[in-house]
Amino acid sequence: MTLYMFYGFIAAGILNFVCSILILRTMARAGIKVSFFEIRWQVHKHLKQYRKISLDSTGKVAWPYYAYQSSLAGIIGFAILTLVSLGDQPN
């Protein structure tokens, strides 16, 4: 069971990384200076602007915004579940 929780953690992390790239590429296309070197902090810094830009251009918030937030919650959830399941295993 621990291995499945770890796989979920990895899958959520990959989805989060992909959404980060999509968000930052959209921000760069909109003319906002983005540093891909510090990708983790740049996404949090520009997330509200991304929501506004996607809402203004298409009339609704783009899916990477919601996928980023849900995958971030998934990372935290799967990390906790993995650690809990490691503690439940007999030695």
Show pLDDT as tens, one digit a residue, over the chain (91 residues).
Answer: 889 999 999 999 999 999 999 999 999 999 988 887 777 788 888 899 999 999 999 999 999 999 999 999 999 999 999 999 888 777 6
For the chain, which residues make up each domain, given as ranges? 2-88
The answer to whether the CB of 78 falls within 8 A of the CB of 13 is no
- State the pTM of this model: 0.86
